[in-house]
């Protein structure tokens, strides 16, 4: 059974550009979450989607956005990139929208902003 | 606002020894997760603890949850080099959001 797949795995952008990251959840999983990992701030919640609806959003500026498609695949977008956006972006999926389900993480997309 | 604190943040130990990583959190929750992360890699799920008093074991690792004390522990028994990694606890804040601890970087020396 395939795990959570994220693309691209590595990318380099310059300040002011925008970036789109993609996540394919485990087959049958309908909830997709995104997290940002940096050495300084650790792991921080970005947002969560279930059945194409954003149900929760973390404390990030509006430059960070996301969406989920009918096949549960998700994308996140960061516009007007800043140096501080350099991070590992992790996508995670769980089978249902209920509480307590195990969260499975992808390998991440490592973004470097120059 | 939920805060999750792990200690120690760095741990260097000898093979064969036992040690415990602590995870304290600030508000009520009865759902806690432990993850392992190797350098440059993603998070690997180790344990899901869903109730007070939950105890789970896998190999040399054992995790427990005390919701009244707002404390979870990850106990390592007879450590081996392969367990060297960074370990994170994460508390389910509700609304599908996990709040992570800072991580404990564990180094096991031969």
Tens digits of per-residue pLDDT, A13-41?
A: 999 999 999 999 999 999 999 999 999 99
pLDDT for res A39: 92
List of chain B residues with pLDDT < 50: none
Residues from chain A contacting residue B35 (CB–CB below 8 Å): 105
Between chain A and chain B, how many beta carbons pairs sit less than 8 Å apart? 55
Contact A89, A32 (CB under 8 A): no
DSSP B16-72: T--EEEEEEESS--S-EEEEEE-TT--EEEEEEE-STT-EEEETTEEEEEETTTTEE
Could you tell me the pLDDT band of residue A100, with boundaries at 50, 70 and 90?
A: low
Give burial (CB, 10 Å; 0-12/13-18/19+) of A11. Answer: middle
Tell me which residue in B31, B45, B102 faces A104 most closely, judged by beta carbons.
Answer: B45
Strand duo A104-105 + A19-24: pairing: unpaired
Residues from chain A contacting residue B41 (CB–CB below 8 Å): 107
Tokens for A40, please give them.
């300084």
Instruction: Give yes or no for residue A101 having a pLDDT over 80.
Output: no
Task: Say whether residue A58 is in contact with chain B using an 8 A CB cutoff.
Answer: yes
Cα A98 to its chain centre, rounded Å, is 19
Report which of residues A57 and A2 the model is more confident about: A57
Residues from chain B contacting residue A33 (CB–CB below 8 Å): 96-98
Say how far apart CA B75 and CA A28 lie, in whole Å. 33
Task: Say whether residue A33 is in contact with chain B using an 8 A CB cutoff.
Answer: yes
* CA distance to A17, B15, B16, per residue, from B84 (Å): 38, 10, 13
Contact B4, B24 (CB under 8 A): yes
Contact A9, A79 (CB under 8 A): no
Task: Say whether residue A55 is in contact with chain B using an 8 A CB cutoff.
Answer: yes
> Chain B: which residues have CB within 8 Å of chain A?
31, 33, 35, 41-45, 48, 50, 88, 90, 92, 94-103
Cα B97 to its chain centre, rounded Å, is 17
Residues from chain A contacting residue B44 (CB–CB below 8 Å): 105
Say how far apart CA A75 and CA A20 lie, in whole Å. 7
């Amino acid at each position: 059974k395939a795990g959570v797949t994220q693309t691209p795995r590595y990318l380099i952008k310059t300040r002011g550009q925008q970036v789109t990251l993609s996540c394919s959840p485990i087959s049958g999983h309908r909830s997709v979450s995104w997290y940002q990992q940096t050495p300084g701030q650790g792991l921080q919640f970005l947002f969560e989607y279930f059945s194409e609806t954003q149900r929760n959003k973390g404390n990030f500026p509006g430059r960070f956005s996301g969406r989920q498609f009918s096949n549960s695949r998700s994308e996140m977008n960061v516009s007007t990139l800043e140096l501080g956006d350099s991070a590992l972006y992790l996508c995670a999926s769980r089978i249902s929208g209920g509480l307590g389900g195990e969260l499975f993480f992808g390998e991440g997309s490592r973004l470097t902003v120059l | 606002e939920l805060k999750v604190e792990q200690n120690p943040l760095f741990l260097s130990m000898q093979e064969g020894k036992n040690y415990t990583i602590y995870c304290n959190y600030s508000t009520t929750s009865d759902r806690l997760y432990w993850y392992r992360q190797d350098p440059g890699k993603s998070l690997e799920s180790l344990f899901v603890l869903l109730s007070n008093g939950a105890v789970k074991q896998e190999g040399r690792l054992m995790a427990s949850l005390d919701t009244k004390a707002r404390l979870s522990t990850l106990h390592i028994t007879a450590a081996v080099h392969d367990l060297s990694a960074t370990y994170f606890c994460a508390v389910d804040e509700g609304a599908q959001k996990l709040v992570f601890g800072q991580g404990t970087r564990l180094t096991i020396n031969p």
